[in-house]
Amino acid sequence: MVVGLMPLPGYQAVPVGWATAHRPTAESAMTTRVDLTRTGPPGDWSPTMGATSAVTAPYATGVPARVQRLASQPRGAEAAGQDVTTGTYLVAVPMAVSPVQVGDRVTVTDNPADEHLIGRVLTVDDVTYGSTPWQRDLVCTLDQSKHPTTTGG
């Protein structure tokens, strides 16, 4: 074997269209359905709900997704002088979904494998981008104080 000749002359290690060709494979594993909602500008303050914002109707509904808990332990934080436990999730959606923004909400509407995930509302903290994406990855946070019946998120 000759070192230094890879890829072979005239060939690309990652061919043009490679990511696009593999997107159906990634999407076939997206068995969860989510709605994506963009919140409006800050609204009023509620003693029971905290800061509120104008919520618009979902801009995408029934979106195929894959949802995975990233942090094995809940993270503690403080908000408005109260302890809040949060969990970090990775949500993968098809590349064709309208551009998702930081602050958007992801609501799980259907999940055949784990019904306890249904109804969860995750907030998008980061939208990842890459050179050969099969899917759009969203790093999200679950505020467990809004889901008190769940242990460990």
Cis previous bond, 148, omega within 30: no
Q: What's the confidence (pLDDT) of residue 52? A: 65
Cα dihedral sign for 140, 141, 142, 146?
Answer: negative
Tokens 């043009």 belong to which residue?
16
pLDDT at 50: 64
> What is the predicted pLDDT for the residue at 10?
80
- Token pair for 38: 């963009």
Q: Which residues are CB-contacts of 118 (< 8 A; sequence separation ≥ 6)?
A: 108, 109, 110, 111
> What does the H/E/C string look like for the chain?
CCCCCCCCCCCCCCCCCHHHHHHHHHHHCCCEEEEEECEEEEEEEECCCEEEEEECCCCEEEEEEEEEECCCCCEEEEECCEEEEEEEEEEEECCCCCCCCCCCEEEEEECCCCHHHCCCEEEEEEECCCCCCCCEEEEEEEEHHHCCCCCCC
Q: In order of start, what are the domains of the chain with their CATH numbers? A: 18-43+51-146 (2.40.10.270)
pLDDT average per 10 residues of sequence, the chain (153 residues): 65 84 93 92 65 76 95 59 76 94 95 94 93 92 63 47
- What pLDDT is recorded for position 106? 96
In this structure, how many other beta carbons lie within 10 angstroms of the beta carbon of residue 88? 18
Task: Identify the CA nearest to 152 among candidates 54, 35, 69.
Answer: 69
Model's pTM, two decimal places?
A: 0.76
Task: Give the pLDDT of residue 39.
Answer: 78
Amino acid at 4: G
